[in-house]
Amino acid sequence: MTLVVLGGFAFERFDVQRIDNQAVAARDSGDCDGVRAAQGKYNVGHRLGNAPRTVRVEGDVSACDRLDTAEAKLRTATSTAGMNALDEQFGVLSEVLTLPGQTQCAHTDGTRVRGRPRMSGYSIKTYRYLRMAMVAMILLLAAALVIEWSKTDPRCLQTSISAYYYTPVRAIFVGCLITIGMCMVVLKGNTETEDILLNVAGILAPGVALVPTPGQGSCHSVPVELGDAAANVSNNMLALFVVGVPCLLLTAYFIIRDRMREPAGWTPMYVVGLGIAVLIFGGGLAWFLADRSGFIGNAHYAAAIVMFLCIIVVVLANAEQFRRKQHAVPRSLANRYSVIALAMVVLPLLMVGWRALFGWAHAVLWIEGTLIVLFAAFWISQTQELWNEGLRQELPRSPQATPSPLRSSSRE
């Protein structure tokens, strides 16, 4: 009997150690929900077998509760300009920071002040996979283009990447653009402005894929049966519009619901983003219904131009945001976004100028290819930067204005 009791006691102590390790891992990654879940696994035997460890986890849970309370009050204070409340809650954050291991839970980068909690482990993994899926789609399209080019005269190229729709590349071209578009819509941008731009680009990407460029070109490895292109566009775009309308209505419902449930975390930019999406979607639908031939002949160009412009602005915005991060975080990496943004603006302009001066049949091909490669470089760089964060904190224009959860003896 004594051996049974001692064995049970030893097992309880071992299990306490296992649960404690889970709690520490959750705390160190800033996952307060994980800390609470670990505490919920303790029973009476655990508390009798190793009371100090269970008490330590209870302290972590208490710290998380204080942080959540401070976060909610900070949101209210920032929206009502309550400076006394701000000072009080910054004090709470400062006190929690003095507790062992609470740096990540306190989110000293200021994301709690901004109302943007740190992503959990599963959310981060999903975010990474979606981002890497976009890079994989770009590589898949590039591989299909290279394989098709290898089967033709090396000097024979279509005048644009879009013209490879009329080659065996078509299925991958359409599939990759639709997948990339969906990923851009699903992924949350670092700022509301970036999120809106990504959504617009994502909405337009299926249009670029489903409405082919009018120029078929002459460089293809085998003749491709096109069927009735107008019928293809009519069927596929109508399907896109039919699915898109309820998606917009569902988005409107979520915005209204969030406004009612969480007014402190709600922003008018949600309505702005929805309004822009409705204008683009509604305008495209009206054009499709009123002037079908004009839509088939020009929608590809219109969608592609606006899509690339949105992507360029996203890169420019990231260059600016990263510049602010460099001021706020010493020894941060060089601003590679500025280099990519500069190349995205300058190189296409140089190519357009060269075409205007000397003529260049493949200018569009090289402009599209350059922008796609630079976008891939941007996306890989951003994925690397945000690998453990998910989202970058939106910093103010002046680094001196960045709120800090730590008390300072000097006023900003």
Confidence of residue 10 (pLDDT cuts 50, 70, 90): low
**pLDDT exceeds 50 at position 111:** no
pTM reported for the whole predicted model: 0.67
**pLDDT exceeds 80 at position 89:** no
Higher pLDDT, 15 or 195: 195
3-class SS string, the chain: CHHHHHHHHHHHHHHHHHHHHHHHHHHHCCCHHHHHHHHCCCCHHHHHHCHHHHHHHHHHHHHHHHHHHHHHHHHHHHHHCCHHHHHHHHHHHHHHHCCCCCHHHHCCCCCCCCCCCCCCHHHHHHHHHHHHHHHHHHHHHHHHHHHHHHCCCCCCCCCCCHHHHHCCCHHHHHHHHHHHHHHHHHCCCCCHHHHHHHHHHHHHHHHHHHCCCCCCCCCCCCCCCCCCHHHHHHHHHHHHHHHHHHHHHHHHHHHHHHHHHCHHHCCCHHHHHHHHHHHHHHHHHHHHHHCHHHHHHHHHHHHHHHHHHHHHHHHHHHHHHHHHHHHHCCCCCCCHHHHHHHHHHHHHHHHHHHHHHHCCCCHHHHHHHHHHHHHHHHHHHHHHHCCCCCCCCCCCCCHHHCCCCCCCCCCC
- CA 326, 332, 338 angle in degrees (round to 5)? 60
Segment 373-396 shows an average pLDDT of 84
Segment 62-75 shows an average pLDDT of 66
pLDDT tens digits, 118-157 = 555 677 888 889 999 999 999 999 999 999 999 998 888 9
Confidence of residue 79 (pLDDT cuts 50, 70, 90): very low
pLDDT tens digits, 90-100 = 555 555 555 55
CA dihedral 301, 241, 185, 380 (to 10 degrees): -40
State CA 322 to chain mean position distance.
15
- For 78, the token pair is 């920032």
The pLDDT of residue 189:
87
**pLDDT exceeds 50 at position 115:** no
Listed residue (123, 93, 95, 128) closest to 108, CA to CA: 93
- For 151, the token pair is 């089967």
Distance between CA atoms of residues 138 and 239, nearest Å: 25
The pLDDT of residue 64:
73
Using CA atoms, how far residue 74 sits from 49, 331, 404, in Å, is 40, 29, 12
Distance between CA atoms of residues 33 and 120, nearest Å: 9
The pLDDT of residue 369:
94
Residues 311/194, Cβ–Cβ less than 8 Å: no
Residues 208/299, Cβ–Cβ less than 8 Å: no
Segment 96-108 shows an average pLDDT of 50
Percent share of the chain, pLDDT over 90: 43
**pLDDT exceeds 60 at position 315:** yes
pLDDT tens digits, 31-64 = 777 767 766 776 656 555 555 666 666 777 777 7
Residues 224/300, Cβ–Cβ less than 8 Å: no
Contacts of 53 (CB under 8 A, 6+ apart): 16, 17, 20
Higher pLDDT, 99 or 253: 253
Confidence of residue 109 (pLDDT cuts 50, 70, 90): very low
Distance between CA atoms of residues 280 and 204, nearest Å: 9
Distance between CA atoms of residues 368 and 221, nearest Å: 21
Q: How buried is 181 (Cβ within 10 angstroms: 0-12 exposed, 13-18 middle, 19+ buried)?
A: buried
**pLDDT exceeds 60 at position 77:** no
Lowest mean pLDDT among 90-94, 313-317, 362-366: 90-94
Mean pLDDT is highest, among 87-91, 105-109, 221-225, 267-271, for: 267-271
The pLDDT of residue 226:
72
Distance between CA atoms of residues 57 and 41, nearest Å: 11
